[in-house]
Structure 1
């Protein structure tokens, strides 16, 4: 029979890990240090293994590292479920937690939220932007309900619905020799460029991009950093076409000739999970805004 683990114990454990000690954790969660220590001891007894390497609680044991990840996911799920139930009881329509890749977060997502607001729904909407791998983790761990991202490979625990297919373009300063090219660029034209590596380009899995990245001395992890580096003349890069709508006039996006230089963006949620009304309506709005923006943004709807 599966043991029932205390939610209070999980909260105490996470607090100790995040604050670095029992006393600080006790202050954070409003309990006494002795009560926190007793709760941790009971949690270790229930799990059947120590969670820390020593009594000083300075380093997690291998079991403790696993428990920390699971405890955070469990607490996030519990808190969101409580909010959903109390929202319904208070005659509200719930909350939508969504994570999005940056290019969608600054283009389609605000339009979807505006549409949702204009319809009069009394929703709490919480938005965060991140890269696709972090978004997948957030959905799987119950931190957010809906993700707008690229899903690499099959994830049976997730539902994925494609929204659009988006090209990735060569990005360079406006005065770069290739900025005025009248034709899509071939990989052979880029071999001598100082390439700024990023996750979106790497995720393409194309040998020619990997060759460019192999010689790269500069990596930027988000869209804003990539664009700033290009604008400063530190190199060129490859980014999703949607990113060009928020860049300066000193940067040019030039199409690539290789049809493989594209990605499919869609929404994800946990397979088999009943989404809150706010999340369901948000998905409808993002579908509609994706359709409406096809000609403007230059992608192909799925």
Structure 2
């Protein structure tokens, strides 16, 4: 009724309004009459519908305001359904945030300019907690099976010892084994749990320092507090003061999984980002 009234007011005749609305003149006339009956007063000064009454002028103002609001609401709903609008919450490990996500987010944000991204980088255990507490739509970390969630393997990379470039371990690493780490101050972290080699157990047992945050771990290594064990992508190429020494007597690799609620529970914007991640050419190591 509001659209019919506005069309007649804008065009000044039933015939022109009917053409715009794709209806017959009689149908438009009937709907306008029902609207005036509902209001309880005439909205036009004559049957020609060329001039509004004072009440009609006031109602036209409200009609335009209401139809504009309705059209914005419909556009927002359609935008959400087409992943053109919305918000996606990510919880990822630091190396994923630094190495994996930049090119993915660049392409995604260009394709979905109306979608906001909230990404926080943290350790794998915290990523799992964020997902469980429904504070994240997508998690990317080294996590095991989580009941009620979908999991996709994204990439793997090898583990290695990280130390300053001038550390004695870096001089002749190719011939060294776990035993050569005995007696060296070692900084433990959550990823050490993925190394199950018997030779690594005494090193972990002797460690007096356990740190979760990767940036803090690397700062401690730079400061000479000790060496640590990290996956290769955690040590960026621009870290020229640090050395990544691949382990020579273990086949253990870090596995990074994308974990989400079931696809049908994700918003279209989040579904689109999961597809972008799965289709991405992610830099993995093959050593």
- Normalised to the residue count of structure 1, the TM-score between the two structures is 0.63
Partner of 1:144: 136
Whole-Å Cα distance in 1 between the matches of residues 165 and 220 of structure 2?
Answer: 13
Do the aligned partners of 1:164 and 1:299 also contact (CA within 8 Å) in 2?
Answer: no
Instruction: Identify which of 277, 286, 289 aligns with 2:277.
Output: 286
Partner of 1:202: 193
Whole-Å Cα distance in 2 between the matches of residues 90 and 118 of structure 1?
Answer: 15
Give CA-to-partner distance per residue, 1:124-169, whole Å, 9 cap, x none: 11101111111112112211111001123x3222111001111111
C-alpha displacement at 1:292, in angstroms?
4.5
Aligned CA distance change for structure 1 residues 86 and 224 (closer, same or farther; 3 Å): farther
Instruction: Identify which of 96, 103, 109 aligns with 2:101.
Output: 109
Secondary structure at the aligned position of 2:235 is classed as helix
Aligned CA distance change for structure 1 residues 274 and 284 (closer, same or farther; 3 Å): same
Whole-Å Cα distance in 1 between the matches of residues 175 and 87 of structure 2?
Answer: 44
Aligned CA distance change for structure 1 residues 139 and 292 (closer, same or farther; 3 Å): closer
Whole-Å Cα distance in 1 between the matches of residues 172 and 141 of structure 2?
Answer: 30
Do the aligned partners of 1:187 and 1:208 also contact (CA within 8 Å) in 2?
Answer: yes
C-alpha displacement at 1:106, in angstroms?
0.8
RMSD of aligned Cα (Å): 2.4
Aligned CA distance change for structure 1 residues 273 and 133 (closer, same or farther; 3 Å): farther
Aligned CA distance change for structure 1 residues 280 and 90 (closer, same or farther; 3 Å): closer
Gaps of 5+ in 1: 1-84
Number of residue pairs aligned between Structure 1 and Structure 2:
211
Whole-Å Cα distance in 1 between the matches of residues 75 and 91 of structure 2?
Answer: 23
Whole-Å Cα distance in 2 between the matches of residues 150 and 277 of structure 1?
Answer: 25
Whole-Å Cα distance in 2 between the matches of residues 127 and 299 of structure 1?
Answer: 28
C-alpha displacement at 1:272, in angstroms?
6.0
- Structure 1 moving runs of 4+ over 6 Å: none
Do the aligned partners of 1:174 and 1:250 also contact (CA within 8 Å) in 2?
Answer: yes
Do the aligned partners of 2:194 and 2:252 also contact (CA within 8 Å) in 1?
Answer: no
Say which one has the larger Rg: 2
Secondary structure at the aligned position of 2:117 is classed as strand
Whole-Å Cα distance in 1 between the matches of residues 250 and 156 of structure 2?
Answer: 11
Whole-Å Cα distance in 1 between the matches of residues 279 and 186 of structure 2?
Answer: 36
C-alpha displacement at 1:195, in angstroms?
0.4
User: Are residue 124 (structure 1) and residue 113 (structure 2) matched?
Assistant: no
Give CA-to-partner distance per residue, 1:52-82, whole Å, 9 cap, x none: xxxxxxxxxxxxxxxxxxxxxxxxxxxxxxx
Aligned CA distance change for structure 1 residues 275 and 227 (closer, same or farther; 3 Å): same
- Normalised to the residue count of structure 2, the TM-score between the two structures is 0.66
C-alpha displacement at 1:224, in angstroms?
0.8
Partner of 1:65: none
User: Are residue 240 (structure 1) and residue 231 (structure 2) matched?
Assistant: yes
Aligned CA distance change for structure 1 residues 124 and 230 (closer, same or farther; 3 Å): same
Do the aligned partners of 2:100 and 2:282 also contact (CA within 8 Å) in 1?
Answer: no
Partner of 1:88: 77
Aligned CA distance change for structure 1 residues 259 and 284 (closer, same or farther; 3 Å): farther
Whole-Å Cα distance in 1 between the matches of residues 175 and 236 of structure 2?
Answer: 19
Aligned CA distance change for structure 1 residues 115 and 185 (closer, same or farther; 3 Å): farther
Aligned CA distance change for structure 1 residues 86 and 131 (closer, same or farther; 3 Å): farther
